[in-house]
Amino acid sequence: MVNFTVDQIRAIMDKKANIRNMSVIAHVDHGKSTLTDSLVCKAGIIASARAGETRFTDTRKDEQERCITIKSTAISLFYELSENDLNFIKQSKDGAGFLINLIDSPGHVDFSSEVTAALRVTDGALVVVDCVSGVCVQTETVLRQAIAERIKPVLMMNKMDRALLELQLEPEELYQTFQRIVENVNVIISTYGEGESGPMGNIMIDPVLGTVGFGSGLHGWAFTLKQFAEMYVAKFAAKGEGQLGPAERAKKVEDMMKKLHLEICLKDLEEDHACIPIKKSDPVVSYRETVSEESNVLCLSKSPNKHNRLYMKARPFPDGLAEDIDKGEVSARQELKQRARYLAEKYEWDVAEARKIWCFGPDGTGPNILTDITKGVQYLNEIKDSVVAGFQWATKEGALCEENMRGVRFDVHDVTLHADAIHRGGGQIIPTARRCLYASVLTAQPRLMEPIYLVEIQCPEQVVGGIYGVLNRKRGHVFEESQVAGTPMFVVKAYLPVNESFGFTADLRSNTGGQAFPQCVFDHWQILPGDPFDNSSRPSQVVAETRKRKGLKEGIPALDNFLDKL
């Protein structure tokens, strides 16, 4: 029996202080939909006997069949707080009735866009964590998304019934488990948050502040430290006045790990919206172009009118610099001297050269640098914008197969310019700069970089061997293996090339009897072993396939196309 009316909902909509918009986010299978069921039951929308099993917010047929959430679902709940609970709320409020607009979002990594959309329309996030499995890779991903959207998180430790009944943990072990989860969540928040000085202030979770809940969504009970504090106060409080306070299973789901997101979208398109068969191409992987050595010659390119000459060299970044640029540690917006000091101290750059960085690219922020190391060149500032435009063009469409460049430093060594400004305009300099940059790359042992996934796989101990076999066949390698405390489950962390990840989950399932559950997140770029100029190598095949897909001329362009002679 629903215990609120439409009139109550309509009346409370005018009380802005009593409306809460929130999302439920978590790792896959940590119990978001089941917990939402219990909340819906508490609001009186479904019977308590069916709470936890109805999966009320899984409204689609394929969600019911697969037992996973695919689309975010919103529901409005009305709840009246007791006087005792009202006093605990520090924010402004108008009466005891509250309207809670709740969005149950998917947990699977393929549906991250649904989570982002849900977060953008809400003010707070309920982060659900399975207290047996702990903080998993997708927990970190959704927390990072929430912090990026400036959403304050609150933690709910779910599945306490499993910890108590299945694992039969002692009180001290249970306490240590909870403490470890709180610490892990706070580490993620401090890593991706802006600290107390940021616009959200201090968003660290703390059970004492009531931002951590404990419970079981399946059985419909939960509590915070406040409830226990009230019990202790009632039992042990001294008579008279005084201020007292408290002391301080993996589901085997059919088809779950296929390329699920695309499969669902295509099913909707083919059956519900377009109602026509759709042709699908193979997945496309982005690569990056880089260099492995300094250019072996000083590259010269002449302008089309032969009156201007540019001399350049390319060299690779030191390890870690490209990642620092991606993180914003080194950027075009930094103060010049501060950036030069950072590069000199950490990467042993020459301070004078570090102060003469012209730009980053592509798009003004990418992990490639153009540096001016010329001495006493006339009219150089007049052509700077044209050379920068050529640099942005070249780094966006590299010499090998027109993929973005990464981790390349270009040095302008010398420039010879015509005295008349009309002969050194953008039309003369921009294509010349691009040709000179391409020549610099082709003379510096060019290489391809491929994207690498961080894969986290949860599985029982007996199937770990099967995981190693699949990863070895896919050019992956394991770098960490640990047991989940108090369970027979192992967590294997590995690096896997994105290009090899297609069909990985199906292989993994067939080799482990469906007992391994992987989650993949992009981690870093890595040089693809082999020389692109060697026709038998893997990079050469990738270059040929990419050029064919983009409709480019067959084969890597010859150096003579870009390098001029005096």
One-character DSSP codes across 267-323:
HHIIIIIS-S----PPP----EEEESS--SS-EEEE-TTSS-EEEEEEEEPPTTHHH
Evaluate whether 280 touches 398 at the Cβ level (below 8 Å): no
273: amino acid identity, one letter: H
What's the fold here for domain 6-236? Rossmann fold (3.40.50)
- Can you point out the beta strands (E) in 366-488? 368-372, 408-416, 446-460, 477-483
Evaluate whether 370 touches 410 at the Cβ level (below 8 Å): yes
Neighbours of 420 (CB within 10 A): 8
Quick check: do 6-236 and 288-445+554-561 share a fold?
A: no
Q: CA 265 to CA 274: how far, in whole Å?
A: 11
Neighbours of 190 (CB within 10 A): 12
Residue 381 token pair: 């500032």
> Which CATH class name applies to 448-527?
alpha beta
Q: What residue has token string 């050529």? A: 390
Per-residue pLDDT of the chain (566 residues; tens, 9 = 90+): 356 667 777 777 778 788 888 888 888 878 877 888 878 777 666 656 555 555 666 666 766 666 677 777 888 888 887 777 777 777 777 777 888 888 888 766 666 677 778 888 888 899 999 888 888 888 888 888 888 888 889 999 988 888 888 878 888 888 888 888 999 888 888 887 777 777 777 888 888 888 898 888 888 888 888 887 777 777 776 665 655 554 433 333 334 444 566 777 777 888 877 778 877 777 788 899 999 999 888 988 888 888 888 899 999 998 888 888 888 888 888 888 888 888 998 888 888 888 888 999 888 888 999 998 888 777 888 888 889 999 999 999 988 888 999 999 999 998 888 888 787 788 888 899 999 999 999 998 899 999 999 999 888 888 888 888 888 888 888 988 888 777 778 889 999 999 888 888 888 888 887 778 888 888 889 999 888 888 888 889 999 989 988 888 888 888 888 888 87
Q: CA 543 to CA 547: how far, in whole Å?
A: 6
Strands 446-460 and 368-372: unpaired
Residue 114 token pair: 């649904």
Residue 168 token pair: 């039969």
Domain map (residue ranges) of the chain: 6-236, 288-445+554-561, 448-527
Please tell us whether the domain made up of 288-445+554-561 is placed in CATH 3.30.230.10.
yes
Q: CA 531 to CA 506: how far, in whole Å?
A: 31
| Residue of 121, 33, 37, 43 lying closest to 70 (CA atoms) | 33
Q: CA 135 to CA 128: how far, in whole Å?
A: 9
Residue 519 DSSP class: E
